[in-house]
Amino acid sequence: MAETTAPDPVDTAGAAATDSSKARFAKAIEEAKAGVQALGKEAQGRADDYREKASTTRGEWLDEAKAYGNQAKEKATEFAVEGKARASEAILTLGKMVEENVETIDARLGAKYGDYARKASTSIQDAAARLDAKDLGEIGEEARAFVRKSPGLAIGLAAVAGYILARAFRGSSDGASDGSSD
């Protein structure tokens, strides 16, 4: 005698519920994957927008920086030309002062020293004329060549010039306030 068993109603309901749960879980996973892809595309789009905006801004900043750099070069060139003119004028004035005092040197020290003063005056005035005739590029090249040729002398001259400038810009109030001179 064969016994047939009827399916257990609890097992059937449990299996159906498990299948339904699996289907809903699979559907939730698919929706999550789709959401992740959508978020990824949105994030990529925003990142591209930000990159483009940053690139545009960077380009604008570079253009502004170049404009400021060009303005600075122009201003520096103006100051250098003005400084060169002042320096040549000062040297020329020194040469003229020496020339004006040649008669006094002749009278007090003799004709030999007067001749030295005349030659010095002429050399100083010629140097001022040569400086005035040169453009800034030539002066810069000559300075570079001098430094390459005699770096020790260039450093020494820079130190002396710095000392003189420091003394000149220190002001008269330092020496006048205590009544002493260095």
Q: What is the pTM of this model?
A: 0.51
Residue 161 maps to a domain: yes
The separation between CA 89 and the C-alpha centre of its own chain, rounded to angstroms, equals: 32
What are the two backbone dihedrals, phi and then psi, of residue 12, each rounded to the nearest 5 degrees?
-65, -45
The SS3 call for residue 110 is coil
pLDDT, position 156: 92
| 139-169: pLDDT as tens digits | 889 989 999 999 999 999 899 988 888 888 8
Residue 42 maps to a domain: no
Residue 162 maps to a domain: yes
Residue 115 maps to a domain: no
- For residue 96, is it left (φ>0), alpha (ψ between -120 and 50) or beta? alpha
Residue 158 maps to a domain: yes
Q: Write down how long the chain is.
A: 182
Q: Cβ of 95: how many Cβ atoms within 10 Å?
A: 20
How many domains, the chain? 1
Residue 154 maps to a domain: yes
Residue 63 maps to a domain: no
Cβ partners under 8 Å of residue 175, min gap 6 = 181, 182
Q: CA distances (Å), 12 to each of 6, 8, 109, 171, in order?
A: 11, 6, 135, 107
The separation between CA 16 and the C-alpha centre of its own chain, rounded to angstroms, equals: 76
Residue 21 maps to a domain: no
| 52-61: pLDDT as tens digits | 888 888 888 9
**Structural domain containing residue 160:** 136-168
